Amino acid sequence: QVQLVESGGGLVQAGGSLRLSCAASGRTFSTLAMGWFRQAPGKEREFVGSISESGAWINYEGSVKGRFTISRDNAKNTVYLQMNSLKPEDTAVYHCAAFNTYSDYAPSANTRFHYWGQGTQVAVSS
């Protein structure tokens, strides 16, 4: 079993930045691919991006590409989501997720991740 705890959410003005963290425990972190998702009120959950076990491969959803950066520190069992140039439409609860994998690749948006965190709220004011 893997436990995931997100932190770093908050209220920020449009154009600002936030860095989310997701701390993992319960399994060797370097054997997990990680993903970030978000869900805005009244909308379906949306894929933000993912990162491979090693960090060498990263996927981003189109609307965040160039603004958001996913990284990981396997020594700290933590994955990060650096969000820059935030827009009001980025307002959502952000969840991290983990996927058991036996090869080094960044999962696609359609991957059924195995473990999920509770989420952290991000609100962007205009």
Gyration radius from the chain CA atoms:
13
Cα(121)–Cα(40) distance, integer angstroms: 10
pLDDT tier, 123 (very low <50, low <70, confident <90, very high otherwise):
very high
Q: What are phi and psi of 78, to 5 degrees?
A: -135, 140
What pLDDT digit, counting tens, does each position of 57-85 carry? 999 999 999 999 999 999 999 999 999 99
What pLDDT digit, counting tens, does each position of 33-42 carry? 999 999 999 9
Cα(94)–Cα(116) distance, integer angstroms: 11
Distances (CA, A) of 34 to 4, 8, 85, 113: 10, 17, 23, 8
Q: What is the pLDDT of residue 33?
A: 97
Are 4 and 116 spatial neighbours (Cβ–Cβ below 8 Å)?
yes
Q: What is the pLDDT of residue 102?
A: 85
Closest CA relative to residue 18, chosen from 117, 85, 97: 85
What pLDDT digit, counting tens, does each position of 4-45 carry? 999 999 999 999 999 999 999 988 899 999 999 999 999 999
Report the sign of the C-alpha dihedral through residues 19, 107, 96, 126, in that order: positive
